[in-house]
Amino acid sequence: MDVVGVVLAAGAGRRAGGPKALRVDAAGVSWVARAVARLEAAGCGSVLVVLGAGAEEARRLVPEHSQVVVADDWAEGLSASLRAALHAASGDAALVTLVDLPDEPAAVGERLLRDSPADPSVLARAAYRGRPGHPVLLGRAHWEPLSASLIGDSGARDYLVEHRAREVECGDLFSGADRDGPG
> Tens digit of pLDDT per residue, the chain (183 long)?
999 999 999 998 877 678 989 999 999 999 999 999 999 999 999 999 999 999 999 999 999 999 999 999 999 989 999 999 999 999 999 999 999 999 999 999 999 999 999 899 999 999 999 999 999 999 999 999 999 999 988 889 999 999 999 999 999 999 998 876 555
Query: What is the helix (H) or strand (E) element at residue 50, kind and residue range?
Result: strand 46-51
Closest to 119 in 3D by CA, of 96, 146, 145, 137:
137
Amino acid 107: pLDDT: 98
Amino acid 32: pLDDT: 97
Amino acid 118: pLDDT: 87
Question: Checking DSSP bridges between strand 46-51 and strand 67-70, what pairing results, if any?
Answer: parallel
Amino acid 181: pLDDT: 53
* Strand ranges in 114-170 using DSSP code E only, listed in sequence order: 123-128, 131-139, 166-169
For residue 85, CA distances in Å to 68, 97, 122, 131 come to 9, 11, 17, 24
Task: Name the pTM for this structure.
Answer: 0.95
Closest to 81 in 3D by CA, of 91, 95, 69, 64:
69
Amino acid 183: pLDDT: 52
Amino acid 153: pLDDT: 84
At residue 96, the 3 state secondary structure works out as strand
- Angle at which helix 31-42 crosses helix 106-114, to 10 degrees, equals 30
User: For the chain, how many residues are written?
Assistant: 183
Instruction: State how far the Cα of 136 lies from the Cα of 143, in Å rounded to an integer.
Output: 12
User: Which of 3.10.20.30, 3.30.465.10, 3.90.550.10, 3.40.50.880 would CATH assign to domain 3-169?
Assistant: 3.90.550.10
